[in-house]
Amino acid sequence: MKKLFFLFLISFSFSTTVAQEQKPNVLVFYVDDLRAELGCYGSKTAITPNIDKLASDGVMFNRAYTQQAICAPSRMSTLTGLRPETMGIYSIFTPLRKIHKDVVSMPQLFNKNGYKTVSIGKVYHHSSDDKKEWSVYFGKEANTYNDPKNIAIIEQLKKEGKNPKGPAFDMADVADEAYKDGRASKYAIETLHKLKDDKFLMFVGLSKPHLPFNAPKKYWDMYNRNDFEVPSRNKPEGVYRLSLTKWGELKGYHGIPKDGDLDDELTRTLIHGYHASISYIDAQVGKVMQTLEDLDLRKTTTIIFMSDHGYKIGEYGAWCKHSNMEIDTRVPLIVSRETNYKKRKTGKTSKALVENVDIFPTLVDLCGLEGPEFDGKSILSIINKPNKKGDEYATSVYARGKKIMGVTATDGKWRYTEWRNAKTHEILQAELYEHKNSLLSYLNLSGNKKYKKIEQKMKKLLEKQFPRDKPFLQNDQPRKK
């Protein structure tokens, strides 16, 4: 009997060890301001061979959405599995831990479950959030300018006591590491060498193509600026007056006119810079992926490539994000499972509706952990079976100050948005756009009798997430001067 019991203990211990060993590593490329402007998503201009290769080695989601088209809340949502309306944080000025001390985050949970947790570059918007929960931490860096002319401009602005933010783009004939995303990939590669024998959750936060569009000259040289078309500056007919912004984020940079539309020449230059920045971060993805192969880690590492939100590069005569529009809320998402997983799917495109808030519960499911309650849900079954249906709808939110709340829902074809009084839920204006084959739509169909049934259907979907009798939680604090 003792012998049998001893054999049982050995067997149990072996099974437990095997189960632990089967838990994959996770590497997340978390990109800033990247819309689905990639070769694998059908872009006619973007040159992204490394990301395209990753897509061919995994599942690419065509209907992935962020929960808010602004950095801080969207990243908090990804890292907690909670929606902005659950946290009550809608601006970039409020850190997560200033309000929510007890919310369990992704680095917290993985840290407590024996994973080495790694944060490189921009992961949270606020570097102070969960800093102690990362085993290895390389904070986000300030933007680097390498063009002597731009450096001189910044120095002169400082002397004059003006905003030294600098120009909106920079290109110099320098190595990748001369700009911050090149350094981020360098840190990631060095860390992979150190942690190759450990279980790890690694976030590589790549800042480009966020403004300023600063990238080595060789990535600018990959493009012919005459290939870039200046998009229509027309705004959707019947658009709510606050649906789009005056893109103050771009206007804060030196050399950008404060009023009116940008001319075609400057528009082309910025579009060129956006693309150069994308090819720059594509090269960093390639370097890190090659390191995984060289260290024989790819077979045990699941890769996620994602963005915090979409972006406008002149569409609607607007720039940046900060809206509930399809072009700002739709994001690229690619998941490639560890190559040791025998049933992994490659070269597949999923039409399932998924959301960034689903990433945390998915990783909990993938790694066999016990997580907290989430607003999102695991999409692991879709990753394993890409033809499987996803959610019926996806939602996002965008507040215009304290008094107006914009809430939106999409079913993958139709986007319905309500702009409400944040206190009374009175609908100030509604918008209904069709997005069958495009990120853009130029006609608000809300109130059109021909689309009444569609609008009623979308309205019901929206109210499932944003009921009219539930107050909006608002934990944002005024910005301190």
Higher pLDDT, 128 or 466: 466
How far is the C-alpha of 382 from the C-alpha of 391, rounded, in Å? Answer: 11
Mean pLDDT, residues 111-139 = 97
User: Looking at 100, 125, 126, 272, which residue is catalytic?
Assistant: 125
DSSP letter at 411 equals -
Each residue's pLDDT tens digit, 324-377: 999 999 999 999 999 999 999 999 999 999 999 999 999 999 999 999 999 999
What CA–CA distance (Å, rounded) separates 415 from 432?
6
User: Has residue 5 got a pLDDT over 60?
Assistant: no
Report DSSP letters for 201-220, one per residue: EEEEEE-TTSSSEE--HHHH
| Local confidence band at 163 (pLDDT 50, 70, 90 cut-offs) | confident
Mapping DSSP to helix (H, G, I), strand (E, B) and coil, where does residue 297 land? coil
| pLDDT level of residue 2 (50, 70, 90 thresholds) | very low
Which residues, other chains included, contact 241 with Cβ-Cβ below 8 Å and sequence gap of 6+? 429
Query: Which strand (E) or helix (H) includes residue 248?
Result: helix 248-251
Residue 206 has pLDDT above 90, yes or no: yes
pLDDT-derived band at 436 (thresholds 50, 70, 90) equals: confident
Assess whether 320 carries a catalytic annotation.
no
Please name the helix (run of DSSP H) or strand (run of DSSP E) that holds residue 320, with its range, or none. strand 319-320
Q: Which of 71, 100, 126, 320 is catalytic?
A: 71
Q: Please state the rounded mean pLDDT for residues 295-324.
A: 98
Q: Determine the pLDDT at residue 10.
A: 43
Torsion of CA 167, 276, 320, 430, to 10 degrees: 160
Distance of CA 217 to the CA centre of its chain: 26
Measured CA to CA, the distance from residue 285 to residue 182 in angstroms comes to 10
193 is catalytic: no
Q: What's the Cα-to-Cα distance from 427 to each of 89, 181, 185, 242, 424, rounded to whole Å?
A: 21, 43, 46, 13, 9
Tell how many helices (H) and how many strands (E) occur in the chain. 15, 16
